[in-house]
Structure formats: C-alpha cells, structure tokens
Structure 1
C-alpha cells in the first residue's frame, strides 16, 4: 500500500470519527415529531429528511420502531415506561420516606437509650 493510500485512509477515518462525534442525538419527542410529519405526507420523505438533516434510512427505522411499538402497546404486550414527571414524583416520595425512616430509627434508638439509662433491662 502506498503512502498516498495510507494518507487517504487516515483522512477518511478522521472524517468518519468527526461525523460520529458530532452526530446529533434526537430525543424521543423529536423522533416522534419527525415520524408523524412523514406520516402526514405534506412533504416527501426525502424533503423531510433533508430538512431535518437525517438520512432516509434513519427515518424509516424510526417509523418502523414507532409503528411496531405502537402495535405492541395497543395489544398490551409492553409495560408503559414512567414519564419524567412520574419519576421525579417517585424520587421525591422515596426521599421523604427515607427521611421518615431515619427519624423513626433515631427516635427508636433514643428511646432504647433512655430506657437503659433508667435502669431497665431486657430490651
């Protein structure tokens, strides 16, 4: 392999690495928005993908996942994941329960110490 071929491969690898590193990550909401726009059919899929800066293969993968997961959900085959608000509320509730438990444990220890200090045995 010539030095020029090695240099070309190195340049190609660098370009691939840069593209991979700068690739945009789409949220679930953004993916759903794009898929729904495509399903509406107001613009062609090619135009939609060009506007969104994605490859048409990515659009069709998102569309397939969207439709398959929707079908599973309607059939009751999957468990719904918690929304971020539900997760936040559950974390708040868990924190409050842990604090309550810690208070009760501390109170229990203090009561035991006070009973031992009063000369009572058998705790």
Structure 2
C-alpha cells in the first residue's frame, strides 16, 4: 500500500509548522513597549517599523491596542495587575513559612493540653 501524496505533504507541513513555532522569537514586555512607542513616535511608517523588527503589522497593532488599553485602565484608577513570577514565589514562600508556624503552634498547644490532662489538672 502506498500513502497518498497529500498525506505525506500534510505531515511535512506539520513538521515545518512545529519547527517554526518552536523557533519563533519571543518578545519581552520591554521589547514590545519599545516597538509600540517607536510606532507612536511616528518617525517611520508602521510598515517600515514592522519590517525592521521582523513582525507582522497585525501583531504591532494588537500590541499597540493592549498597550493603550492598559494605560487607559491605569489612568482610570484600575490598579489591579498581574503579579510577577518573583512576587508569586515570594508569596508562596511566605505562605509556606506561615503554615509551618501555625503547625508548630498547634503542636505546642496539643502538647500543653495533654500535659495538663496527664498531670491531673482537675485538683484545685
């Protein structure tokens, strides 16, 4: 049995697509902000800016929209924001430490109660 030519081609296309996805450049927040601000300055056209940065114009416009919406929310007084990974790690570490303290105090309390009952704490 031979495979259909279309099947082999679709598998090859999938491999190429996976490779492109794996090697796609990831832009940091700072890079995105720099690119959007360069576009807002208006020194170069958006098409030229996108060619120079190697991004699609649609990607630039989505970043620009996100950037402006975030600024609008911030100026409107919406101060809620996503925590950074270091903040999350710090909060998890603090929660773990607090849980340990509570566990130690619960153990001490249990031992004190047992010692009170074992000593015959009822004689007055």
TM (norm. structure 1) is 0.72
- Unaligned regions of 5+ residues in structure 1, if any? none
What is the distance in 2 between the residues matched to 1:116 and 1:22?
68
Match of 2:50 in 1: 49
Count of residues in Structure 1 that have an aligned counterpart in Structure 2: 119
Match of 1:31 in 2: 32
CA spacing shift, 1:85–1:16, aligned 2, 3 Å: closer
Match of 1:82 in 2: 83
CA positional deviation for 1:9: 4.4
CA positional deviation for 1:89: 4.0
- Does 1:113 find its partner at 2:82? no
TM (norm. structure 2) is 0.71
- Unaligned regions of 5+ residues in structure 2, if any? none
What is the distance in 2 between the residues matched to 1:8 and 1:35?
38
CA positional deviation for 1:63: 0.4
